[in-house]
Amino acid sequence: MVVELVTTGSELLLGQIINTNSAYMAEGLNKIGFDVIYQTTVGDNRERMREAIMHALTRADIVITSGGLGPTQGDITKEVCAAIFGRSLRLDEDCVQRLKDYFARLHREMAENNLRQAMIPEGAHIFVNHAGTAPGIAIGQEGKLLVNLPGPPTEMKDMFERSLKPFLEKKYGFSAVIISRVLNTFGIGESSLEMQIQDLILAQSNPTLALLVRPSGVIIRITAKAKTREEAQGLIADMEQEIRARVGTYIYAVDDADMENVVGAGLKEKGLTIACAESCTGGLLTSRLTDVPGSSAYVSGSVVSYTDEVKADVLGVNREVLAARGAVSDEVARQMAEGVRSRIRTDVGVGITGIAGPDGGSADKPVGLVYIAVSGDRGTESTKNIFTGTRKQVKYQTTQTALDMVRCYLKKI
């Protein structure tokens, strides 16, 4: 079945908001075997919306709109669609009751215009909105299906998952299952990675392989299509095994897991605690570590030492070393890691010192130069790094590298 998505709303046309609904719906539909071949965006203009939806119906079996189901006069999607199929709108008593219940729950008065949301095209299937007030609609006619979903992403997503997907499955059956698995790598560039698995990329058919560069590192997306979920998972597992045999050391996580989740799980598993001494990252490393629920089990604390005084006073970095080598040096990073570990009494200490830019660089110490040290029972390790990009990008890359160093440290003990 061929699908066209029609997103409506003047904010989209004016570029005031970014259209995330189309990507969400397209990805979800592709995963259950529907082909999305066109996406159209049109404003809250009756004539143009009608033209766009009529044209969509000429080239797709299923047209799914999103937006324009609100209570105001500018919300016209449902009316335009009903008119295309020659249906009149009628007040639906169940919908009225759900609206009344919704406002009663919130202890709010229901405005008269909310009743517009209970006006339903004759013969339409209704999708209950569990995340807002506007019901969704599906009208089938002459082999075509026209679906109206709400515009706010939380409402659209809830209705898409809870109602539309089961509705489509019942009506058409899912012709295929498409599953993706993402292997997150760190420490290897796109072209090096490509060279290591070039034969797999060239020979790909099902599953397919894609390399994508993300701020966190290069990701490998494996996508398989099959009749059943189990069959697709089997295809992916075989490919993953082959890839891991080549570049497994660079793969730190799969799917949505971030480096901080992986490091957190490693610390928890080994029963270790961690503290960080951060200069140029300004607290971002500890903030990422503490983004993980339950991280208080292993994060004890940290010190952001933006000045030499704090490095010396709080962390105990040697003043002579600071003077001789400068704050941005390997020795200072190591002493920061050791100092914070001893000051906060943790098993692992991390020290970071560098120049995030855009100012503060020099010929021998350029912007992007960062020293990172990890200290533990087995001694202290450090790296010298040169990162590029904006201040925020340098900060982020530094934390990603530091987390990976901790990850590798944990694997060895």
Pairwise CA distance, residues 147 & 220, whole Å: 34
Q: Which helix (H) or strand (E) holds 375?
A: strand 369-376
- Cα→Cα distances 389→26, 213, 327, 394, Å: 32, 15, 22, 6
Q: How far is the CB of 159 from a copy of itself (least distance, A)?
A: 17
116: phi then psi, degrees, rounded to nearest 5: -55, -30
Count how many Cα atoms sit within 13 Å of the Cα of residue 225 in the half-sphere of its side chain: 15
Q: How far is the CB of 174 from a copy of itself (least distance, A)?
A: 17
Residue 166, preceding peptide bond in cis (omega within 30° of 0): no
Nearer to a copy of itself, 145 or 299 (CB): 299
Length in residues, the chain: 413
Q: How far is the CB of 4 from a copy of itself (least distance, A)?
A: 10
Nearer to a copy of itself, 260 or 331 (CB): 260
Q: How far is the CB of 289 from a copy of itself (least distance, A)?
A: 7
Nearer to a copy of itself, 34 or 127 (CB): 34
Nearer to a copy of itself, 166 or 294 (CB): 294
Listing from the earlier edge strand, what are the strands of the sheet with 348-354?
A: 274-278, 348-354, 369-376, 379-386
Nearer to a copy of itself, 55 or 365 (CB): 55
Count how many Cα atoms sit within 13 Å of the Cα of residue 187 in the half-sphere of its side chain: 16
Nearer to a copy of itself, 19 or 184 (CB): 19
Q: How far is the CB of 313 from a copy of itself (least distance, A)?
A: 8
Nearer to a copy of itself, 13 or 83 (CB): 13
**Cα–Cα–Cα angle for 321, 289, 352, nearest 5°?**
15
Q: How far is the CB of 91 from a copy of itself (least distance, A)?
A: 27
Pairwise CA distance, residues 182 & 212, whole Å: 10
Q: How far is the CB of 257 from a copy of itself (least distance, A)?
A: 15
How many Cβ atoms are within 10 Å of 191's Cβ, its own excluded?
10
